[in-house]
Amino acid sequence: RKEVEQDPGPFNVPEGATVAFNCTYSNSASQSFFWYRQDCRKEPKLLMSVYSSGNEDGRFTAQLNRASQYISLLIRDSKLSDSATYLCVVNPPSNTGKLIFGQGTTLQVKP
Amino acid sequence: EAGVTQFPSHSVIEKGQTVTLRCDPISGHDNLYWYRRVMGKEIKFLLHFVKESKQDESGMPNNRFLAERTGGTYSTLKVQPAELEDSGVYFCASSQDSVYEQYFGPGTRLTVT
């Protein structure tokens, strides 16, 4: 079983749609959680950290459910520029900054 | 402020040859990480430096890979001898106070033929 699992998609949605991505992680002792965004043939960039209480940044909302070991990302009012691969990332219980990446979910927003 | 830079951007070598990848972290960042993504797979951690010390090298695949960070500034990752399965994109990342807010470089695309 992979340490971080995501539905690879692709998710094809029209502009203005709301789309949600889910991710599960295997190590219940994991400490920190993130969503990164990666454009084609580019480096991953931090989109947002995910906190237990849930957090929102503009059109983006992230949720964490520790009991179910489940992380979600909701994008409202999708823009063409949101087209990218969204990576679910977990920091396992360790004293290093090691990050474990999911395979990514591809989003295509169509006009 | 300059971001993380990596050199070269692309490298094509033959099996059995040696390649050295370089990473320059963001100035002042003590934490430096190497990751790689092979075709069709997720990005995987290789190792973590704090200044010049290896904090965690649990992701290094085998002893053909050698990472160094002399002086605690830039880092090199040498693959010797290269094998076909080493092909992929090698990313470097750095962070300052928080080991979790990592900034990635553009990557080096390595092709071993």
Residues of A in contact with B39 (CB under 8 A): none
Tell whether A87 lies on the interface with B, counting CB pairs under 8 A: yes
Residues of A in contact with B105 (CB under 8 A): 43
Q: Chain B: give the shortest CA distance to residue A104, in Å.
A: 7
Tell whether A22 lies on the interface with B, counting CB pairs under 8 A: no
| B97 has pLDDT over 80 | no
Tell whether A48 lies on the interface with B, counting CB pairs under 8 A: no
| B15 has pLDDT over 90 | yes
pLDDT tens-digit map of A78-91 = 999 999 999 999 99
| B26 has pLDDT over 90 | yes
pLDDT of residue B100: 66
Lowest mean pLDDT of B9-13, B30-34, B36-40, B94-98, name the range. B94-98
B 28-57 → A contacts, CB under 8 A: 31, 33, 35, 41-45, 48, 55-56
pLDDT of residue B2: 82
Of A47, A24, A21, nearest to A100 (Cα)?
A24
- Enumerate residue ranges in chain A where pLDDT < 70: 95
How far apart, in whole angstroms, are the C-alpha atoms of residue A39 and residue A83? 8
Plot region of B72 (φ>0 → left; ψ -120 to 50 → alpha; else → beta): left
- Average model confidence (pLDDT) for chain B? 94
Could you tell me what percent of chain B has a pLDDT over 90?
88
Tell whether A46 lies on the interface with B, counting CB pairs under 8 A: yes
Closest by Cβ to B31, choosing from A49, A97, A100: A97
User: What mean pLDDT is predicted for residues B26-34?
Assistant: 94
How far apart, in whole angstroms, are the C-alpha atoms of residue A62 and residue A35? 8
pLDDT of residue B1: 65
pLDDT of residue B99: 64
How far apart, in whole angstroms, are the C-alpha atoms of residue B11 and residue A36? 26
pLDDT of residue B45: 96
Tell whether A98 lies on the interface with B, counting CB pairs under 8 A: yes
**CA A14 to each of CA A18, A55, A83, B12: distance values in angstroms, whole numbers, following the listed order:** 9, 25, 11, 39
pLDDT of residue B42: 95
